[in-house]
A and B are shown apart, each in its own frame.
Chain A
Amino acid sequence: MIQGISIYHFLIVSSLMFFIGIAGFIIRQNLITILLSIELILNSVAINFLVFNRYLYPDQLQGHFFSLFIIGVAAAEASVAIALIINIYRRIHGINTDDVNEMKH
Chain B
Amino acid sequence: MFYLLSTVILVFSVMTITTPKVLRSAVYLLFVLIATAGLYFLLNYEFLAAVQITLYAGGIVVLIIFSILLTSHISHKLARPAPWKLWSAAISLIVGIPLVLWIILNHTFQQSANEVPVDMKLIGTQLLGTGKNGYVLPFELISILLLASMIVAIVIAKKDKEDKQHN
Interface residues of A (CB under 8 A from B): 1-2, 5, 7-13, 15-24, 26-30, 32-33, 35-37, 39-40, 43, 46-47, 50-51, 54-61, 64-65, 67-69, 71-80, 82-87, 89-91, 95
Contact of A54 with B43 in the complex, beta carbons under 8 Å: yes
Contact of A12 with B153 in the complex, beta carbons under 8 Å: no
A12 to B156, CA, bound (A): 39
A13 to B114, CA, bound (A): 24
Question: Given A19-B100, A23-B89, A64-B123, 20 other A-B contacts at CB below 8 A?
Answer: A8-B105, A12-B101, A15-B97, A16-B10, A16-B13, A19-B96, A22-B92, A24-B16, A26-B92, A33-B16, A37-B17, A39-B33, A40-B13, A40-B29, A50-B45, A65-B126, A68-B48, A82-B63, A82-B64, A91-B163
Contact of A86 with B116 in the complex, beta carbons under 8 Å: no
**Beta-carbon nearest neighbor of A72 in chain B:** B142
**Beta-carbon nearest neighbor of A79 in chain B:** B153
Contact of A65 with B45 in the complex, beta carbons under 8 Å: no
Contact of A75 with B59 in the complex, beta carbons under 8 Å: yes
Contact of B115 with A75 in the complex, beta carbons under 8 Å: no
Known: A9-B6, A21-B13, A61-B133. A29 touches B29 (CB 8 A): no
- Chain B facing A: main interface SS: helix
CB of B3, distance to nearest CB on chain A (Å): 8
0/1 string, B81-92, CB within 8 A of A gives 1: 100011011001
Top-4 shortest CB links A-B: A24-B17, A76-B149, A83-B153, A83-B157
Contact of A5 with B2 in the complex, beta carbons under 8 Å: yes
Tell me whether B161 is interfacial, beta carbon within 8 Å: no
| Residues of A with C-beta under 8 A to B146 | 72, 75-76
Give the number of chain B interface residues (Cβ < 8 Å): 80
Contact of B93 with A19 in the complex, beta carbons under 8 Å: yes
CB of B121, distance to nearest CB on chain A (Å): 12
Known: A13-B10, A72-B145. A57 touches B112 (CB 8 A): yes
Known: A8-B104, A30-B22, A56-B112. A71 touches B56 (CB 8 A): yes
| Residues of B with C-beta under 8 A to A61 | 118, 122-123, 126, 133
Tell me whether B75 is interfacial, beta carbon within 8 Å: no
A66 to B8, CA, bound (A): 24
